[in-house]
Amino acid sequence: MSKQGLLIVISGPSGAGKGTICQALLERDSSFCLSVSCTTRPPRSGEKHGINYYFVGKEEFQRLIDEDQLLEYAKVYDNYYGTPRQFVVEKLAQGRDVILEIDIQGALQIKQKYPQGILIFLVPPTLSILQERLTKRGTDSPEVIAHRLNCVCDELSNTSQYDYLVTNDTVEHAVEMIEAIIKAEKCRPLHFDLQKFLTG
């Protein structure tokens, strides 16, 4: 039987670079699995259904909630986001490490349901750099950017409930920090494979 994989939750303000960091982790280590979330928001330019998100209507999202098919879900910036349960449970049971790129509300739900999950909060070096990143991204109106920046202080007030905080000054450095966290977590006694030790 495979040893249970790690559930790694990465959160942070919009524009902190979560998607870029997750993609870099996957490119450096193919053993990771990235869970694809469902959302009711429309796709941004270049985003693809089933790769970036599962883009669904509000009725379909409500059906997933009613049938308990979501590990967590939350309303963020007037849209709903959620993590399909079956994929995560299956991959963890196979011994694969699963990365969830989700918001704070969802992360705290995961912490309650799955306390052994590793919660990592990603932040930009400064608020002005975050504003610059959001503006350069070119996907949101000035009003939406202003709303997201206003939400940052509230989001940061929840970081004490996370296990780790990583500053995304450069992608390379942030990825190295997260890899170090994962290596350290795998050294915890609860992840020791006693059966393999006794029989191997």
Q: Is the pTM of this model over 0.75?
A: yes
Range ranked top by mean pLDDT from 2-6, 61-65, 72-76, 143-147: 61-65
Any known ligand binding at 13? yes
User: Distance (Å, rounded) from C-alpha 118 to C-alpha 113?
Assistant: 12
* DSSP-based three-state secondary structure for 43: coil
Contact between residue 121 and residue 11 where contact means Cβ atoms under 8 Å apart? yes
Structural domain includes residue 83: yes
Any known ligand binding at 117? no
Any known ligand binding at 5? no
Any known ligand binding at 15? yes
- Domain total for the chain? 1
Structural domain includes residue 1: no
Q: What percent of the chain has pLDDT over 70?
A: 99
Structural domain includes residue 102: yes
Question: Which of 50-63 are b and which e, b meaning 16 or more Cβ less than 10 Å from the residue's Cβ?
Answer: eeebbbbeeeebee
Which residue range forms the structural domain that includes residue 120? 7-199
pLDDT in tens, 95-132: 999 999 988 888 999 999 899 999 999 998 887 787 78
At 110 the pLDDT is 93
Any known ligand binding at 12? yes
The mean pLDDT value for 173-200 works out to 87
pLDDT at 14 over 90: no
At 1 the pLDDT is 42
